[in-house]
Structure 1
Amino acid sequence: MDLKEEIAREVEEETGIPVSERDIEGIISSLLVTSHFWEVVQRSRLPFNVVAASVDLFHRRGWVKMEGDGSLTFTAAGKDMAVREGIEPEKDFVCPGCLGRGVSWQDLEGLYRRFVEIAGRRPEPIKEYDQGFVTAETTVSRIALMADRGDLAGKRLLVLGDDDLVSLAAGLSGMPEEVVVLEIDDRLIDFINEVAEENRLPVKARRYDFRQKLPEEYVGSFHTFTTDPPETLEALEVCLGRGLLSLRGEGCAGYFGLTHAESSLRKWNELQQLLVGKFKVTITDIIEDFNHYVNWDYLLPSLKKTFPFLKFPPRINWYRSAMYRIQTLGQVEGLRNEAAECELYVDKEALIYG
């Protein structure tokens, strides 16, 4: 057993998450570029728990030391290890203009300015609903992406949960015919409806828990849905199923985010099999790191582990997710509109609630 495989097995045993030699190589490669733990998580595109356990192991083996400000640096022994293993520093080739999204929010500058002004009054995220919202640039980029794919102008849009206020950005764009928000947080419902009324936007929000059946008036009613779902497989299936139930038929689209920090590639694979194999929809786009989240206040107190380097808050917007776009080929299969109990937030890959 070589060194990387040995480390992978030890981390896998600690976390209960499958870990490969390539995963370990990616973490080391990221550490050769940045001393900031949270950036290592973002760069390596691996579950948070895997990265934290790996860095702790490197520290215990004397390969990494922690400075007084929480910075992580390789020791001489650590650098020698990386050289022996042939691991090079990670290189970044992401477009600096669009940040890899493939669309530019700068083309919607007026919308961006109006949205920033309104979003500044939003309710703060709370742990009860696992809330955390994306940057204003991300929200407006979502509008640009949906518009670019022909899924917004003149369309009826359903937003399942709206921490990110996509509904208001869509309404402010003047493109959709109507936007409906189904949201569990009364604070957000009141805020969205208030802003919509003030600005005469075609947006309305109502209370809904996606574990309940989808209201019948919304079944087969929309051209597009968007959601930022919890990332247990149960919650993903139920939430995306609700979105697909809302669509009118062939050629409709759904958008959702999926992280690496809380979802391993094996979970990605299981979800993709669900989408393609059970629901019979096509995945048209997976855009890495499309969604950049603003750091939330309850992060550090809610972490499962108390490794020393986790006592220092992030200095960057490290929590990111890929944007998925799916499209229907006809009548979506495998859907039942009934109440469904499911575990929302907790699995072995979950970042919080330990």
Structure 2
Amino acid sequence: MDIKGIAEEVCKKTGVETTGRDVEKVLSGLTSSSHFWEVVCTAREPFSVVAEVVEVLKRTRLVKVDEQGDIYFTPEGMKFLKSRGITPRKDYTCPACEGRGIGLEKLKELVQKFDEVTADRPKAIIDYDQGFVTTRTVVSRIALMADRGDLEGKKLLVLGDDDLVSIAAGLSGMPAEVVVMEIDDRLVEYINDKATKLGLPVKAIKYDFREKLPDEYVGYFDTFTTDPPETLEALEVCMGRGLTGLSGEGCAGYFGLTRTEASLKKWNLFQQMLVDKFKVAITDIIDDFNHYVNWDYLLGSIRDDYSFVQVKPRLNWYRSSMYRIETLSGFKGMENKSMPCELYIDQEALIYRPGQM
């Protein structure tokens, strides 16, 4: 089987548009690491595509999987790679900033304080597809918003906050006000408790972004930040809520988007939505900005029909790119009414339900 044939088989099985170049990225990742989750991280392809490429390679005896779930090329597989000129992926990421282009030297105290304050944070749970980012990521988000002039003296809306960005923002002393809209009662209580004890200008309220934005917060904020679910429906509604909360042109929104649960085709459709429907400019896309701490429920929430998938990750493999958007003259939010939508499950989702593929 050639690379084009593998791509066609993967596309047929997953329903995700897959090219020969996509397959080459997975092959290159496998030559660098035998660990499935590291390959998912480095290949920058949807989880379902990476898993199915490995399964095709296994079925055609180009790779083998050992008892620990590690993946190795067979002699036939090595010949396959050599004949097609596929080489190991090399990593040129700056180790100091982890590729973000943001230095934290001026925020060392915030890093330490945030870790101390949030040591008792609630665990991530599957109910809301939670998984929070590392401390360095949280503080880098604060630094990025501050660097772009979107935090100091500004009113910040945080849509969903298992990352506890609101607490970090409050501890930084920069924003005038932070309002968190969060569906998880545990987090609402936790954030409000910390804000009261520490005297932070932070308030959390119970909110499901599928419901209308509270009227008092329409057009109220200077900046919003969120970590949205990645179905196209959920992305549209979440962006619409954030933009509806902004006060006018020149305001900013920040959010992450993965390659693990969002193909480039989905990126393209989403970017068209941002530009054409919402009338905003995409000013920044910083690759792999957000690094997530591995969550406890991972292996119980994903498919178990591939042995190499049911392996505990050895690194913080789940990552997303950071987007910054800025509102233009004539920008649009969305009609402020309830908008039911599918939050978590589509063909590219990491969470698996029988029959979804």
In structure 1, distance between residues paired with 2:119 and 2:69: 31
In 1, are the aligned partners of 2:243 and 2:332 still within 8 Å (CA)?
Answer: no
Match of 1:296 in 2: 295
How is 1:307-322 mapped onto 2 (pairs within 5 angstroms)?
Answer: 307-322=306-321
Cross-structure match for 1:278: 277
Counterparts of 1:66-81 in structure 2, within 5 Å, are 66-81=65-80
Provide the residue aligned with 2:334 in structure 1: 335
2:82 aligned partner, one-letter code: V
Contact 2:244 2:333 in 1 (8 A): no
2 CA distance for matches of 1:332 and 1:55?
44
The residue identity in structure 1 corresponding to 2:181 is L
SS class of match (1:103): coil
Deviation (angstroms), 1:310: 1.5
Amino acid at match of 2:36: F
Q: Does residue 236 of structure 2 align to residue 240 of structure 1? A: no
Q: CA deviation at 1:118?
A: 1.6
Offset from partner CA, 1:7-65 (integer Å, 9 cap, x none): 00001111010000000000000111111110000000000000001111111111111
Match of 1:26 in 2: 25
How far 1:232 sits from its partner (Å)? 0.5
- Please give the secondary structure, in 2, of the residue aligned with 1:81: helix
- Does structure 1 retain, via aligned residues, the 8 Å contact 2:35–2:71? yes
| Residues 226-277 of structure 1 deviation map (CA, whole Å, 9 limit, x = unaligned) | 0000000000000010000011111100000001110000000000000001
Q: Distance in 2 between matches of 1:305 and 1:331?
A: 48
For residues 1-354 of structure 1, the aligned pairs below 5 Å read: 3-333=2-332, 335-354=334-353
Amino acid at match of 2:68: D
**1:305 deviation in Å?**
4.1
Q: Calculate the aligned-residue CA RMSD, in Å.
A: 1.0
Give SS of 1:69's match: coil
Instruction: Answer with 68-77 or 19-28: which moved more.
Output: 68-77
Secondary structure at the aligned position of 1:28 is classed as: helix
Question: Aligned residues: percent identity?
Answer: 60
How many correspondences in the alignment?
353
Rounded Cα–Cα distance in structure 1 between residues aligned with 2:208 and 2:106 = 35
Check conservation: 2:30, 2:39, Cα contact below 8 A. yes
Distance in 2, matches of 1:272 and 1:153, equals: 28
For 1:77 and 1:106, locate their aligned partners in 2 and report how far apart those are by CA, in whole Å.
49
Q: CA deviation at 1:66?
A: 1.6
Amino acid at match of 2:336: N
Cα pair 2:303 2:309 within 8 Å, conserved: no
Shift of 1:311: 2.0
Pairwise CA distance, 1:96: 1.3
Q: Which amino acid aligns with 1:273?
A: Q
Q: Find the aligned partners of 1:162 and 1:106 in 2 and give their Cα distance.
A: 25
State the one-letter code of the partner of 2:265.
Answer: R
**Residue 103 (structure 1) shift:** 0.4
Q: Which runs of 5+ in 2 are unaligned?
A: none
TM-score normalised per structure 2: 0.97
TM-superposed CA distance for 1:330, in Å, is 2.1
Q: Which runs of 5+ in 1 are unaligned?
A: none
1:279 deviates by 0.7
Partners of 1:347 and 1:22 lie apart in 2 by 23
- List structure 1 segments (4+ residues) > 4 angstroms apart after TM superposition: none
What's the TM-score once normalised by structure 1's chain length?
0.98
Q: Deviations over 1:149-179 (max 9, x none)?
A: 1100000000000010000000000000000
Three-state SS of the structure 1 residue aligned to 2:256 is strand
Any idea what the Cα deviations from partners look like across 1:267-296, whole Å, max 9, x if unmatched? 000000000011110000001100000111
How far apart are residue 106 of structure 1 and its match? 3.4
Hey, what's the Cα distance between the residues in 2 that align with 1:304 and 1:70? 14
